[in-house]
């Protein structure tokens, strides 16, 4: 079953080669609830969605709505940067872009790519609350 683009995304921002699935639409709504200056993990998002971290990562890799759906705010369970747009490794262009986007929002990482301030990471419970407050249905 296919769904619609996330609310708050203009037609100019939409560039999918297919409509998002129902799962992707739910995932994008949860991702949009992560506020600037915060991050969450693939695992926390999976817990909120009652899914698997790998499914979350695969769907975010295909996110056609960035930056309206801020997938750069999702990091690995180890609190390291993780991948971005299908690339892994601190020196890859996409992960460097992810780091720059997060640092611009005040989320800092050490030389190994690990989150400096763990209080900036929303766990599953906090993410669920943020999602409900934003009116999304996970």
Annotated catalytic residue within 71, 121, 131, 136: 71
Query: For the CA atoms of the chain, what is the radius of gyration?
Result: 14
Active site residue 71: yes
Please identify which residue in the block is written with the tokens 């640092």. Answer: 103
DSSP 123: -
What are the distances in angstroms from CA 65 to CA 9, 11, 13, 31, 125?
A: 7, 10, 6, 11, 25
Q: Annotated active-site positions, please? A: 71
């Amino acid at each position: 079953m296919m769904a619609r683009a996330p609310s708050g995304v203009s037609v100019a921002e939409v560039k999918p080669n297919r409509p998002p699935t129902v799962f992707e639409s739910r995932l994008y709504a949860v991702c949009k609830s992560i506020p600037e200056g915060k991050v969450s993990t693939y695992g926390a998002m999976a817990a909120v969605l009652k899914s698997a971290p790998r499914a979350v990562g695969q769907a975010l890799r295909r996110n056609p709505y960035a930056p309206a759906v801020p997938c750069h705010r999702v990091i690995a369970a180890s609190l390291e940067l993780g991948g971005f747009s299908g690339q892994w490794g601190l020196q890859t262009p996409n992960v460097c872009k992810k780091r720059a986007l997060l640092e611009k929002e005040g989320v800092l990482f050490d030389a190994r790519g690990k989150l400096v301030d763990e209080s900036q990471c929303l766990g599953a419970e906090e993410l669920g609350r943020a999602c409900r407050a934003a009116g999304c249905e996970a």
